């Protein structure tokens, strides 16, 4: 595989700390311990492959360390046989681990198939929680609808009265924050958008929450809405948000001008029931 153009003569580094404890202990070195470090079990002439590399290197590697420092023994060939066997065994373990990991990740990102039907549990066990991934980027089809999440609040005014605010288009607020912004924040680009996706995914067709995630999704969406409404000063001076209602307004993106396709661009509304807002949350509890 020509994958990454390692120059055969590229300078090689040595001896940063290894990441895992070595199963071989120094005890296994003892049988060969009669050798002193100069023993002939080190590689004979250090094969010096740097000639072509040095000519291309703008800075010759020898510069700062010109005075002779004896080379350290390195590499498999420098080791006595028991160590070598240990090293190769370790290599085999790592190779198996690498292959297993890549196989698991492959099965995780692949479509459901015969193997995952049978061993899906093992794959999930390996992947979750830290190796979860999703690369269906704009695939199989890109989203072709603008989903605007809107919200309104029922507010208790300081004089004891109640009133309902108009609808605030929170996604439009995000859109305005993103427009002309070279570095959109995740709070503008991902927060509400993904919260809505999560909410939809964690609720069944009848709008009932599914499991723990359903409950979490509801609280999350409510907290985002409360935060955004407070920021937009929806409760007015002295007012407190008592309940909120969320709805999604879905509009098809109009097809391109050069296309003959006809798509209805009439919005579709999905309104959720009113949710009571805990008082701690309403009074600046979400920041």
Partner 1 sequence: MNRFVPEPSPEPSPASSSAPPEPSQAPSPAPPEPSQAPSPAPPEPSQAPSPAPPEPSQAPSPAPRAAVGRRALRSLARGVTRVTDAALGPYQTAAVRIGFAATWLLFLLREFPHRQELYGPDGPWSWDLARQLVTDNGAFTVLMWSRSQMWFEAVYALTAAVSLLLLLGWRTRTMSVLFMVGVLSLQNHSVLMGDGGDNVLHLMSLYLVFTRCGQVWSLDARRARRARAVRAHGARAGDAAGPLLWGVLGCVLAAVTVGGRFGTAEWTVPALLWAVWLAQAVWWAAGRRERTWRLRVLLDVVGNVLHNGALLVIMAEACLVYATAGWYKIQGSRWQDGTAVYYPLHLGYFSPWPGLADLLSANGTLVLLVTYGTVLAQVAFPFTLFNRRVKNVLLAAMITEHAAIAVVLGLPFFSLAMITADAVFLPTSFLRCLGGRAARARARLLSRTAARGGRAAPPGRERADGEAGETTGTVRTRA
- Residue-wise DSSP of 48-102: ---HHHHHH-SS-TTGGG-S--PPPP-SGGGS-HHHHHHHHHHHHHHHHHHHHHH
Residue 161: CB minimum distance to partner 1, A: 29
Residue 265 contacts partner 1 per CB under 8 A: no
66 binds partner 1 (CB under 8 A): yes
Give the number of C-alpha atoms closer than 13 A to the C-alpha of residue 155, restricted to the C-beta side: 23
Among 141, 159, 205, 262, binds partner 1 (CB under 8 A): 141
| The only residue of 150, 165, 220, 246 in contact with partner 1, by rule CB under 8 A | 220
Should residue 16 be labelled a site residue for partner 1 when binding is judged by CB under 8 A?
yes
- Which member of 123, 149, 151, 227 binds partner 1 (CB under 8 A)? 227
Q: 50 and 42 in contact (C-beta within 8 Å)? A: no
Does position 184 interact with partner 1 (CB under 8 A)? The reply is yes
Binder of partner 1 out of 115, 191, 214, 275 (CB under 8 A)? 191
Q: Which is nearer to partner 1, 22 or 162 (CB)?
A: 22
Q: Which stretch binds partner 1 (CB under 8 A): 2-10, 114-122, 149-157, 233-241?
A: 2-10
Q: CB-based contacts of 188: which residues, under 8 Å, 6+ apart?
A: 174, 177, 178, 181
CA distance 199 to 215: 9
Ramachandran region, residue 278 (left: φ > 0; alpha: ψ -120 to 50; beta: rest): beta
Check binding of 47 to partner 1 (CB under 8 A).
yes
Six-digit token string for 269? 């509304």
Of 81, 96, 200, 268, which one interacts with partner 1 (CB under 8 A)?
96
224 contacts partner 1 (rule: CB under 8 A): yes
DSSP state of 28: G
181 binds partner 1 (CB under 8 A): yes
Site for partner 1 contains 20 (CB under 8 A): yes
CB closer to partner 1, 144 vs 163: 144
Please, what sign has the CA dihedral across residues 168, 171, 150, 146?
Answer: positive
User: Which phi and psi (to 5°) does residue 43 adopt?
Assistant: -65, 140
Span near partner 1 by CB under 8 A; candidates 37-45, 159-167, 241-249, 265-273: 37-45
Whole-number CA gyration radius for the chain: 32
């Amino acid at each position: 595989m020509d994958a990454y153009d390692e120059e055969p003569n590229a300078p090689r580094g040595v001896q940063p700390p290894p990441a895992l404890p070595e199963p071989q202990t120094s005890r296994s070195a003892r049988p060969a311990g009669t050798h002193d470090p100069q023993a002939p079990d080190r590689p004979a002439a250090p094969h010096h492959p740097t000639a072509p590399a040095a000519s291309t290197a703008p800075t010759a590697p020898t510069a700062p360390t010109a005075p002779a420092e004896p080379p350290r023994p390195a590499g498999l060939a420098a080791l006595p046989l028991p160590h070598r066997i240990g090293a190769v065994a370790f290599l085999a373990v790592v190779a198996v681990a690498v292959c297993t990991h890549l196989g698991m990740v492959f099965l995780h990102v692949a479509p459901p198939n015969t193997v995952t039907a049978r061993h899906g549990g093992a794959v999930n066990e390996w992947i979750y929680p830290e190796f979860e991934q999703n690369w269906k980027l704009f695939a199989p089809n890109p989203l072709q609808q603008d989903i605007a999440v809107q919200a309104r609040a029922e507010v208790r005014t300081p004089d004891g009265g109640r009133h309902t605010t108009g609808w605030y288009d929170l996604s439009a607020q995000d859109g305005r924050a993103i427009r002309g912004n070279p570095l959109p924040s995740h709070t503008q680009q991902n927060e509400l958008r993904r919260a809505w996706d999560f909410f939809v995914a964690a609720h069944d067709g009848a709008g009932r929450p599914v499991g723990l995630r359903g409950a979490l999704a509801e609280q999350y969406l409510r907290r985002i809405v409360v935060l955004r409404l407070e920021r937009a000063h929806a409760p007015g001076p002295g007012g407190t948000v008592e309940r909120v209602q969320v709805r999604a307004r879905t509009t098809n993106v109009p097809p391109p001008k050069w296309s003959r396709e006809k798509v209805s661009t009439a919005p579709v509304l999905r309104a959720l029931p009113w949710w009571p807002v805990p008082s701690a949350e309403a009074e600046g509890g979400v920041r």
